[in-house]
């Protein structure tokens, strides 16, 4: 965990307690650090669960465990380990997940399949079962933790604890949604970003919760990138305890369904941007909007090509309005584009139009914009109605320093 707080960090928000959710933290001592590194969240009976998981072809045993458990749609506990991802660890890794789920299930009197497990940290080192079990035993008897304590416990190279909150009116009742997330590097999700957990007191059927989370993910977690690398462990889980007392949401025809979907989408958007704000070594948050594409999908692919370009990201780090690098990134995306229709802007200043630099454009406002912490890049392809927005950060020497020393 870095000691220098990101200049893009936001204050930890005030989060309400969610009835039916009790977080606790403990020290399993997975790494040689003086902090808690195991989070145990007990969930009341009848809690629904949904999730989106990494598309990596080398997923961790935790991801495989959650993927199977999600089919059942119910949850009684969440266990999160920080400092060891337990990925690429074969049968020893699977045994660790099974042992964790069994111990938590025995404590709660539920089935192991009701326990969800996630881990983050170094790849290739089996999670020590003895440390995990000792950490769990300590967590079982620990006092309930604050949301900030839980958010800090799941951190690795993060520089600040991350959380968000929102609410909605469902069936005449106000329901709350809170989320905590960790992520700083190895961020280019196909589904989610590192580890994030959403909790709500709304009553939501698992199938509807899954559909709402899938939609929220498409415009949030799947629209961010820090370094173009998809993790083996990416996991987003949403838990709904039903304690708010609303009639369970089962379809879009139910009262408050649209409001709940909008609130979940807002929460996921907030959480996703927090990850980009803490990109390893980041000094600037970059929003990239592509419009005029042949389809939304095509616009998204082009936007991600720009966002993942080291040349674009280093130009922004150097506050250099090198729009030629954006042209390069559009051209290499493999999506329909016509050079002589392309337009590019930085902030509100148009720098290229119809495939050429804008004649006599004043670079002064662009230079001023690039000196800020939040940068906007706009691209218009002039081909159709497709549109997408993604978020990334600049690429600095800090990213290299963090990742060159990651295992030490």
User: What phi and psi values does residue 269 have, to the nearest 5 degrees?
Assistant: -65, -45
The rounded distance, in Å, linking the Cα atoms of 287 and 226 is: 12
Q: Is 150 helix (H, G, I), strand (E, B) or coil?
A: helix
Nearest partner of 361 among 348, 377, 374, 372, judged by Cα: 348
The rounded distance, in Å, linking the Cα atoms of 126 and 116 is: 18
CB atoms within 10 A of CB 324: 13
341 is in an annotated binding site: no
Pairing of strands 115-122, 74-84: parallel
**Does the annotation count 193 as an active-site position?**
yes
Beta strands in 85-172 (DSSP E): 115-122, 162-170
- Residues 145 and 23: beta-carbon distance below 8 Å: yes
Q: Which of the residues 157, 193, 200, 241 is marked catalytic?
A: 193
For residue 267, the 8-state DSSP code is H
408 is in an annotated binding site: yes
22 is in an annotated binding site: no
193 is in an annotated binding site: yes
- Residues 393 and 193: beta-carbon distance below 8 Å: no
280 is in an annotated binding site: yes
182 is in an annotated binding site: yes
Feature table: binding site for substrate: 156, 182, 193, 280, 403, 408
Task: Kindly list the catalytic residues.
Answer: 193
Feature table: binding site: 156, 182, 193, 280, 403, 408
């Amino acid at each position: 965990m870095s000691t220098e707080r990101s200049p893009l960090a936001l204050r930890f928000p005030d989060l309400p307690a969610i009835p039916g959710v009790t977080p606790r933290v403990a020290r399993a001592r997975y790494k040689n650090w003086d902090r808690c590194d195991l989070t145990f969240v007990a969930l009341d009976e009848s809690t629904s669960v949904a999730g989106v998981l990494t598309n990596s072809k080398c997923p961790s045993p935790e991801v495989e465990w959650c993927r199977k458990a999600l089919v059942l749609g119910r949850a009684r506990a969440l266990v999160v380990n920080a400092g060891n991802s337990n990925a690429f660890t074969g049968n020893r890794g699977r045994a660790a997940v099974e042992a964790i789920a069994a111990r938590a299930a025995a404590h709660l009197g539920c089935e192991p399949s009701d326990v969800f497990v996630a881990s983050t940290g170094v790849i290739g080192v089996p999670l020590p079962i003895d440390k995990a079990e000792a950490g769990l035993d300590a967590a079982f008897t620990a006092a309930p933790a604050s949301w900030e304590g839980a958010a800090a416990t799941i951190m690795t190279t993060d520089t600040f604890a991350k959380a968000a909150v929102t609410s909605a009116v469902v069936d005449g009742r106000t329901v709350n949604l809170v989320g905590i997330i960790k992520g700083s590097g190895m961020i280019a999700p196909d589904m989610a970003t590192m580890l994030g957990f959403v909790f709500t007191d709304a009553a939501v059927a698992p199938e509807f919760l899954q559909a709402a989370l899938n939609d929220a993910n498409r415009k949030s977690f799947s629209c961010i990138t820090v370094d173009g690398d998809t993790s083996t462990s990416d996991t987003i889980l949403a838990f709904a305890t039903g304690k708010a007392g609303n009639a369970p949401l089962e379809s879009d025809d139910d009262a408050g369904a649209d409001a709940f979907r909008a609130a979940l989408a807002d929460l996921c958007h907030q959480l996703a941007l927090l990850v980009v704000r803490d990109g390893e070594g980041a000094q600037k948050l970059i929003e990239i909007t592509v419009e005029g594409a042949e389809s939304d999908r095509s616009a998204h692919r082009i936007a991600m090509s720009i966002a993942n370009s080291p040349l674009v990201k280093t130009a922004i780090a150097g506050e250099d309005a090198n729009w030629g690098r954006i042209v390069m990134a559009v051209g290499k995306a493999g999506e329909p584009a016509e050079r002589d229709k392309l337009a590019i802007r930085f902030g509100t200043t148009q720098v290229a139009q119809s495939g050429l630099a804008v004649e006599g454009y004043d670079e002064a406002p662009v230079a001023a914009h690039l000196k800020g912490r939040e940068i906007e890049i706009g691209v218009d392809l002039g081909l159709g109605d497709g549109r997408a927005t993604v978020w990334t950060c600049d690429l600095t020497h800090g990213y290299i320093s963090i990742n060159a020393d990651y295992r030490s």
